[in-house]
Amino acid sequence: MSVFVPSESRLRVTLLVLPESSMMSFASVVDPMRAANRISDRVLFEWRVATLSGRPARLTSDVEIVPDFELDFDSGGDALIVIASFNQQRHAGPAHLRLIRRLARNFGAIGGVEAGSWILARCGLLDGRAATTHWEDFEEFGSHFPRVDLRPDRFVVDGPVFTTGGASPTFDLVLHLIRQRYGYPLAMEVSNVFIYDAAQTAAEAQPLVSLGQLERHEPRVAAAIRVMEQHLDDTLNVAQIAAQVELSVRMLEYLFRETLGLSPGAYYRRLRLQIARRMVMDTRLKLQEIALRTGFNSLSAFSRLFKQYYRQTPNELRRSSSNA
């Protein structure tokens, strides 16, 4: 039986945390469950934290999560949630994948948070299923796992398997779980505890940039940024962007400087470089390919601007991140 159906029974959850995971992704699973228990004054969720080694998992924030136990073949429960982020291949080898694949039978549901979807896909657990992952990894994920029905949604539930695109979508997923299992009023109360009034549905697409309140405060700037996101490799000039959002170049320049303190061109360049930096660190794409995907006509121009922003070349960053 799916964990996303009405039930009064407690849900037994195992959180498998990999090193270099995000603290926000971890908290986005645990804290809504904790709040649901407190508000309802009973144990609706019971969770334990596991690692693959039995040792603490050091997160990207340099905080260590001390596990309750080491994941093994006897582990079981209602749901297994794999939380991962950077360097998931380094932290989960073939033996670990065999363990997780085998354990899928011991749990009623299995989920992947952020790069946790990569772990599930590497286990073959997403073959023939709909799934999502962080937007920055979409192209690489799709090329690695062509049998997965990859969707740009914030989170995806396909039968007993669920995946999320990152920390905020994970919070939405857990609210969805509470709403489906224990009712809408409880989900609303949990949302109110965190003053979270922007719950998103599963099918809403992940934005390339989290614009926060910008869409409410200055929707014209937000619209221009969306245009930039859609044209990373085939870059537009400022006049073309302004035309697409029905503004003059002068007005677009004014709005960007008033709202973000940057010109549209500077923001666009920074956006492309931020995405390129993530590709350099977290993919095996050739630097020439990264340059093309982020709108740079030559590798030399890309490397020069990259060093100007980040004080090291893409090659230097890749070497340092692989040795970290």
CATH number where 288 lies: 1.10.10.60
Report the chain (324 residues): mean pLDDT per 10 consecutive residues. Answer: 88 98 97 95 97 97 97 95 95 97 96 97 97 86 93 91 94 94 88 74 58 74 91 94 96 91 90 87 87 93 91 87 61
20 and 114 inside one domain: yes
Do residues 32 and 182 lie in contact, with contact meaning Cβ atoms separated by under 8 Å? no
- In the block, tokens 């952020």 appear at 114
Q: Where are the alpha helices (DSSP H) in the chain?
A: 23-40, 88-91, 94-103, 116-122, 138-144, 167-182, 184-193, 214-217, 219-230, 238-244, 249-260, 264-282, 287-293, 299-310, 314-323
Tally of CB atoms within 10 A around 12? 16
Amino acid occupying residue 303: S
pLDDT in tens, 73-132: 999 999 999 999 999 999 999 999 999 999 999 999 999 999 999 999 999 999 999 999
The single-letter DSSP state of residue 205 is B
Q: Rounded CA gap, 86 and 70, in Å?
A: 21
Residue 114 placed within a domain? yes
- Alpha-carbon separation of residue 260 from 11, 237, 255 (angstroms): 44, 19, 8
238 and 113 inside one domain: no
Q: Which residues, in sequence order, are CB contacts of 259 under 8 Å at separation 6+? A: 214, 217, 218, 221
Strand partners, 109: 79
Do residues 317 and 280 lie in contact, with contact meaning Cβ atoms separated by under 8 Å? yes
Pull the structure tokens for residue 138.
Answer: 């979409």
Residue 207 placed within a domain? no
Q: Indicate the burial class of 198 (C-beta count within 10 angstroms; 0-12, 13-18, 19 or more).
A: exposed
- In the block, tokens 């997780």 appear at 100
3-state SS assignment for residue 21: coil
CATH number for the domain including 185? 3.40.50.880
Q: Rounded CA gap, 48 and 67, in Å?
A: 8
Q: Residue 5: what pLDDT? A: 92
Domain total of the chain = 2
224 and 184 inside one domain: no
Residue 2 placed within a domain? no
- Alpha-carbon separation of residue 180 from 6, 9, 48, 185, 299 (angstroms): 6, 13, 22, 11, 50
Q: Residue 213: what pLDDT? A: 59
Instruction: Name the nearest CA neighbour of 17 among 86, 98, 106, 102.
Output: 86
160 and 246 inside one domain: no
Residue 34 placed within a domain? yes
Q: Residue 202: what pLDDT? A: 62
Residue 1 placed within a domain? no
The single-letter DSSP state of residue 80 is E
3-state SS assignment for residue 133: coil
Residue 6 placed within a domain? no
User: 71 is in which domain, residue-wise?
Assistant: 11-193
168 and 246 inside one domain: no
Pull the structure tokens for residue 310.
Answer: 């980040």
178 and 63 inside one domain: yes
Amino acid occupying residue 145: F
Which residue, of 127, 160, 193, is where some domain finishes? 193
Tally of CB atoms within 10 A around 103? 21
169 and 228 inside one domain: no
Pull the structure tokens for residue 24.
Answer: 């926000």
228 and 88 inside one domain: no
Instruction: Name the nearest CA neighbour of 148 among 112, 102, 95.
Output: 112
241 and 279 inside one domain: yes
Q: How many CA atoms lie within 13 A of 217 on its CB side?
A: 9
242 and 274 inside one domain: yes
